[in-house]
Each structure stands twice: as structure tokens, then as C-alpha cells.
Structure 1
Amino acid sequence: MAVFALVFLSVFAYAAAVNSNCPAHLPKTDNLREFRTSCYEFILDHPGDWHHAEADCRSRGGHLVDIHDYAEEAFLFNTCQQLGFHNDKGLWIGLTDGDAYKGEGNWHWVSNADISFVNWADGQPGMLGGSEDCVLMEFADNGKWHDYPCSGFLFFTQNHGWICEYPITK
């Protein structure tokens, strides 16, 4: 019985440590993880277009994730694998060139953070008549980034999961 209690407490302590410094209003589930100075919420179960994803993150005090180096990219990719995410093409991230403020071809993070790292796939960003303004981290391409229309193109929709980023609260 004592061994069971120790194992249970160890698992509980690990689970609490995974997201214990994340904002209190966020549900403390396996889909909420800490890395460095941010909390990441992996929205995997109700896909939407890029605009819906960004609005969802903003409504809870965050934004679509910005990725600043390979270690952060690897953390996000590996966490998705741990969570069993493999049924979709990929996840929306917060990189865009789809607003009048910056203009076509001027990629920027929705958080306005500086771009210090990119992980574009070969041939990306693509050029589909200037309509590929939002970025998907694709799993079939080992987490490489591909630009897509934010909502879809003609009869094809672009509904995917996404990753929200929040500041750690201590």
C-alpha cells in the first residue's frame, strides 16, 4: 500500500509540475505544458481555421505560439507525439503575412516578437497567388513549416488544431 501511495504521489507531483506555473484560469490537463518562460496549450480535439485558432488563444489571454529556436520546436513536436497527436496534417502556429499592417511576404509573429528562428520546409513559403498567409507545423514533414490559406482555398478548408502560448505566472 505504501508503494502504491508513493507511486501515486510521484505521478501527481510530476503532473502538477508540468503546468503548475501556468495561468490559474487554464484547465490543468495533460494538454497544458510548461517550457522555459511560457505555458503551451495544445488544442487537438476541435480543429478550426487559423483566425478561429488565434481568436481562441486571445480570448484566454494568450496567442498562437511563436517559436524562437530548435529546442522550443523540438519540445512542441515531441509533446504532440506524447499526447498521441497524429491524425491531422499539423497544427497552426502564430506566424503570418496576412494583414495589411505588414503586407504580403513580410512574415511576423502575432505576438509581435522578433523572428529569430524559422523552420520552413523546402520550397516554403509557397506562392499560391498571395493567399497562403498562415503557417502550419506539419507532422508528416517532421515539424517543418508550410504556409497555407488561413481559412481554405476554393472548396478546400484548412481546419487544424493549434498551440496557444501564455506567460508563466509565478
Structure 2
Amino acid sequence: MKKLLVVVDFQNDFVDGSLGFSGAEQLEQPICQKIFQYRAEGAQVAFTFDTHGADYLDTQEGRLLPIPHCTKSTQGWDLYGKVAGLREADDPCFEKSAFGSPELAHYVAKNGFERVELCGLVSNICVISNAVLIKASLPEAEVVVDAACTSCADPEMNRKALDVMEGLQIRVIGR
């Protein structure tokens, strides 16, 4: 089975930076374990990077969420903690200026993955956006989100995001 793990936006600004929240750091170890598991199985690992520039506050997202974050080439943009050290040079990486990555969706469809699992931050924005794009690009693939490897600042919103994903036939595990 052709498998892919997508680590979504596990960046400093979402863990302990400008948009960080209590508990986000606790996802580090489970995400590292996922990466080790996928690599041990010979499966591929990819990373997304929320990526903004100096004009962020002039964008629609910036006007609606006026907190600068994940400015390219800053510490906040970098992957968090031990996850950063697990990224390998040949891992596909997708910089995205919006919540979802059309490039990631195209990549998974072009490569015909049979199973795509997502983990990372944040569940109710970028994780759900990318899961939906992937499911739309590969409707017959198993798309999985591990609830133990994603979260957001609001526990109720996290639960709702996981429920919506299940309703879209995205398999939610680890609840």
C-alpha cells in the first residue's frame, strides 16, 4: 500500500509562538512517533509550512486574524522541536500562504497514494482544510487524521473539526 504521512504546520508560531496554545507542545512526541513509524514502513513523509510575508496584515487572512505569524525564514516559521530534526532533505515540503495547499492535493493525486494520514496544527483550520483537499483529490484513498496528533486552542472546536472530518468520510483515529 502506498502511504504518506503529512505533518501539517507543526511550526514554532503554532506551538509556543504568536499563535501557540497550551498543550500544543504535547503533540511533539506523538508526531515524532508517527514519523518514525512511517519511515520504518518505507512510507513517505511530507511537511506543510504556513508561510507569510511582510504583507500579511494586508491579506484577507491578516485582516481577519491580525496576528503576524509564520513569516518565512523566521524562527516562528521553522518546524518545532524534535520534529524539525526528523525532516529529511528529500521529504516533500509545501509552503502555503492559505489554509489548504492545492500543491499538496495535486502531489497526492499525481502519486496515487492509497492512504494519506495527517497530523499537526491546527485541527480546525489547516488540518481540516488539507484533509478535505486530499479527500477531494483522491476520493477512493483512505484519508486519516489521528486525534492524538492534532489539536487547536479551543477543545470544543477541536472536537467539532474532528466530527466534521468524520462526516466527510475522513477516518479519525486516536479519540
Fold match by TM threshold 0.5? no
- TM-score normalized with structure 2 length: 0.27
- Structure ranking higher on relative contact order (CA contacts 8 Å, 6+ apart): 1
Rg comparison, structure with higher value: 1
Q: Which has the higher helix share?
A: 2
Q: Which has the higher strand share?
A: 1
